[in-house]
Amino acid sequence: MPFRLRSAALVTGLALAVAPALAPAGAPPGALVAPAAAQSTSQAVLRIGAIPDQKPEKLNRLYPLVAGELGRQLGVKVKYVPVVDYAAAVSAFRTGDLDLVWFGGLTGVQARLQKPGARVLAQRDIDVSFHSIFIGNVRSGLRPFTQQKGLTALKGRRFTFGSESSTSGRLMPQYFLQQAGVKPSDFAGGAPGFSGSHDATIALVQSGAYDAGVVNEQVWRASLHDGKANRSKVQALWRSPGYPDYHWIAQPDLDRRFGAGFTGNLQKAILSWRPSDPEQKQILSLFGAQQFTKASPAAYGRIEQVGRSIGKIR
Amino acid sequence: MRPAAPLLMLLPALVLVPLLLLLPSQWHGGGGELIGRFLLAAVQPSLDPLVLRSLLGGVGVTLGMAVLGWSASLVIGVLLGAASSRTVWRTLGGHPWPAELLRRLLAIPRSIHELIWGLILLQLLGLQPVVAVLAIALPFGALVARVIADLLDTLPTHALEALRGGGAPAPAALLTALGPPLLPGLLSYGGYRLECALRSATLLGVFGLGGLGTELRLTMQSLEFRELWSGLWLLLAVMLTLEAGVARLRRRWLMPPRLGLAAGGVGRRGREMVLALLVLVPLGLVVARALGVEASALLQRPPLPALPPPDWAAVAALPWPALVGSTVLLTLVAACLAVGLAPLQWLLVAPWPAMKALMRLGWALQRLWPPPLTALLLLFLLQPGLLTAALALGLHNLGILGRLLLESAVDRGAAREQALLGAGSGARQALLYGRLAPVANAYLAYGAYRADVMLRETVVVGLVGATGLGSQLMESLSSFAWDQILALVAVYALLTLLGEELSDRARHRLLEGNGSPEAAPSQLGIST
């Protein structure tokens, strides 16, 4: 008997001890573990992150490329830290666990309000005037429309936003819906859904789980292009007016930690990416952009205003 | 007329009537195709080595978080439990009032769900592995403390009095007189908490605190069902192994040996426990290292953001009556569903052993599968809203209650059931009156306790929308609206305290009334 127990204890013990040791071997198992690993080597590493607006596979393909390219251009160690939640990305930026983050319009404003002095570095050419696309399931009977008033057709329908904190998948669409006289409580079930990401919204509307939803135009186009969105099942209903969206934001203290002029060099590096370089071309195409341009905090004043009116910014 | 105890047990299942009536109006079935794909994926999970490696890593992290959080909660719980025991204070000289005070204070950390702890600590400490561990350790510690204090205060005191009378110093007398009798309760409850910790660690992952929960949510969100099932089967294996291991140790250490002479003899149990403890301590250190949990992280706190001035008018303008009302309704519906359905399902499948095995597998999957993910799955077929949230919460807890019912009924009543069967009654009657009747009151008492756990858990199904305080809290968190978060957490705490009070009363009445009083304390010991 004691032998049996001892061997059982041994097996359990070994299993428990070995399991976590496997963790660092694979992909970073989650938000929490990676930053700790990064922190042990502290100052020398530039930790970059992004809001999880698309499928993790795509993020995991794109950001290690970005990290590699920035590391090559700047001569510092760059590490991509995946985050699974929009609000967690904002918090991680505030607590200093991320140095450079690809934020959406709303999360960027939230991050800058929580971390005064944070620097807006760059946006994509398409972010100056970004659009949302309202999409509908073909069988739902919803038809494309050209006037904003057409949004009233969504009343009483099963409707899903993306993430709660998404600019193109929630904030601006809710604002356009409000202008057209549609409240969140007007949807079927008394509330909209929050799918979590643009890809999920497309899949859910296409399957019929929701009649309609709203996604960012760039993801919609990419999904049509690679066949993830099936035109016979899901269609665009309406394209919203333009508004400023995604941008790179950096911590205020990078110059102190990485040497004078580092923030400027970082900005220059991002702005220098061109499709002529094969590596950079890959990055740009995953971002769905031709190139990055300078961005100013002032451009996001409108987002802040809408955010305050909807209560997402306090 | 008061219904007989076994029927009382089935009474909550009456909630099915309004539920089934309402279900058609909530049904849209739009995502039927997705559900089909989801079910099909169960039998063909992804075996891609890359996926499996990442999932294994996730399991390791989740298990590590659970073990560390659990160990810390036991240490916290035993210390605070002793400190909030009236007997201890009285023996150490003086009044029991510090115990009373501490007991009341501990109600606050206990009334806040692990998830909220996690999200609050994330703000205070930043993205640190220690956040998930603390998020489990703090509320669990307060829970353990309450149980330990209750156990200590209900232990017979004559041994203590005799030792004190004989001139033994207070601390030594306390340890000698109360330590050994406390051990069975502590072991039994501690084992149960480990299972809870695994579930909590998975759930915390769903909300972004790392580990397998995170993987599950990501694969769910990107509708990669085959990868999702790889993770689920893996987690199921871990959970069943853990449960079986805990049950085995509990039986081995707590049940009197059936063949007293043949077993290892005097002191065997003690030696094994010391051995287990010796394994556990270095194991904890290894796990902590692997996860990057550093106690020093607690000291280097990142500065808090400049908080915007609170807007109490906006807080007051929230639809409080509706929020509280739907939260309470959600809890009640989910609780009735879980409590009533477990014995009902068992009765229904009683004549067919194969169906019973299927039911057990179903229950295992239900308690394994975090409620927010069930909710997302239900949204493929049902409208968002209270009913969907209640189903998600109810099904999860059904898995937990069902297992408890099976476990407690298996130990008891087999003879009675056999007798009834022998006398020619049907399989269902024999089960109901033979096996279920003796545990009915203890089961209902546990159900009452579970109901206030469900009240706390309403927060995790907030993402289904329109589910009261939970969904409002999620929204306020993503808006970083501190004033609202503070008010919501306070209301949650108040509701939980009220619920605890009510469920305590219900439990006492159930256990003092008719039924099997001798079964009650041990049952309560496992379950509180």
User: Mind listing the pLDDT tens digit for each residue in B169-209?
Assistant: 878 888 887 887 788 778 878 888 888 899 889 888 887 77
Task: Please report, rounded to a whole number, the percentage of residues in chain B having pLDDT higher than 70.
Answer: 89
Q: Residue B370 carries which DSSP code? A: -
Q: Which of A236-245, B97-106, B404-413, B453-462: highest mean pLDDT?
A: A236-245
Q: Tell the burial category of B192 from Cβ atoms under 10 Å away from its Cβ (0-12, 13-18, 19+).
A: buried
A243 and A171 Cβ atoms separated by less than 8 Å: no
Q: Is A138 on the interface with B (CB under 8 A)?
A: no
Q: Of residues B122 and B193, which shows the higher confidence score?
A: B193
A70 and A48 Cβ atoms separated by less than 8 Å: yes
- The maximal CA–CA distance of chain A, rounded, in angstroms, is 78
For residues B447-460, give the mean pLDDT: 84
B439 and B405 Cβ atoms separated by less than 8 Å: yes
Closest Cα in chain B to A112: B305
For residues B358-386, give the mean pLDDT: 85
Same fold yes or no, A33-128+245-310 and A132-239:
yes
**Virtual torsion, Cα B480, B481, B486, B487, nearest 10 deg:** -150
Of B64, B126, B283, the CB nearest to A95: B126
Q: Across the interface, do A31 and B465 touch by the CB < 8 Å criterion?
A: no
Three-state SS at B96: coil
Nearest one of A222, A251, A210 to A92, comparing CA atoms: A251
How many residue pairs bridge chain A and chain B with CB atoms within 8 Å of each other? 234
- For the cut 90, the answer to whether the pLDDT of residue B215 exceeds it is no
Closest Cα in chain A to B308: A314
Confidence of residue A43 (pLDDT cuts 50, 70, 90): low
- For the cut 60, the answer to whether the pLDDT of residue A4 exceeds it is no
User: What is the rounded average pLDDT for all residues in chain A?
Assistant: 85
Beta strand segments in B430-506, E: none
> For A33-128+245-310, CATH number?
3.40.190.10
Question: How far apart, in whole angstroms, are the C-alpha atoms of residue A17 and residue B79?
Answer: 27
Q: Which of A7, A18, A33, A41 to mutate to test the interface with B (most CBs of B within 10 A)?
A: A33
Of B57, B292, B380, the CB nearest to A26: B57
Question: How far apart, in whole angstroms, are the C-alpha atoms of residue B96 and residue B90?
Answer: 6
Q: What is the pLDDT of residue A42?
A: 45
- For the cut 70, the answer to whether the pLDDT of residue B303 exceeds it is no
For residues B400-417, give the mean pLDDT: 79
- For the cut 70, the answer to whether the pLDDT of residue A149 exceeds it is yes
Q: Is A132-239 CATH 1.10.10.10? A: no
Q: Is B466 on the interface with A (CB under 8 A)?
A: yes
Residue A30, sorted as left (phi over 0), alpha (psi -120 to 50) or beta, turns out to be left
Q: Is A162 on the interface with B (CB under 8 A)?
A: no
Q: What is the pLDDT of residue A258?
A: 92
- For the cut 90, the answer to whether the pLDDT of residue A174 exceeds it is yes
Q: Is A178 on the interface with B (CB under 8 A)?
A: no
Confidence of residue A111 (pLDDT cuts 50, 70, 90): very high
Question: How far apart, in whole angstroms, are the C-alpha atoms of residue B32 and residue B39?
Answer: 11
Nearest one of B408, B419, B418, B413 to B435, comparing CA atoms: B413
Of B245, B380, B383, the CB nearest to A189: B383
B201-212 confidence digits (pLDDT tens): 988 888 777 788
For residues B491-517, give the mean pLDDT: 74
Of A85, A188, A314, the CB nearest to B481: A314
Q: Across the interface, do B294 and A36 touch by the CB < 8 Å criterion?
A: yes
Closest Cα in chain A to B205: A30
- Cβ atoms within 10 A of the Cβ of B49, count? 9
- Cβ atoms within 10 A of the Cβ of B459, count? 26
Of B209, B221, B264, the CB nearest to A2: B264
Q: Is B384 on the interface with A (CB under 8 A)?
A: yes
Confidence of residue B137 (pLDDT cuts 50, 70, 90): very high
A6 contact residues in B (CB cutoff 8 A) = 275
- In chain A, where are the structural domains located? 33-128+245-310, 132-239
Beta-carbon contacts of residue B230 (< 8 Å; ≥ 6 apart): B45, B46, B47, B51, B52, B55
B31-76 confidence digits (pLDDT tens): 888 888 899 999 999 898 888 888 898 898 899 889 999 999 999 9
Q: Residue A122 carries which DSSP code? A: E
Q: Across the interface, do B125 and A95 touch by the CB < 8 Å criterion?
A: yes
**Sign of the dihedral defined by the CA atoms of residues A119, A125, A130, A132, in that order:** negative
Return the exposure string of A220-253: e unless at least 16 CB atoms fall within 10 Å of the residue's CB, then b: bebbbeeebbeeeebbbbbebeebbbbbbbbbee
* Among A15-24, B99-108, B313-322, the least confident range: A15-24
Of A29, A55, A204, the CB nearest to B210: A29
- For the cut 80, the answer to whether the pLDDT of residue A261 exceeds it is yes
- For the cut 90, the answer to whether the pLDDT of residue A152 exceeds it is yes
Q: Which of B478, B484, B485, B486 to mutate to test the interface with A (most CBs of A within 10 A)?
A: B478
Q: Is B287 on the interface with A (CB under 8 A)?
A: yes
Is the ipTM here above 0.90? no
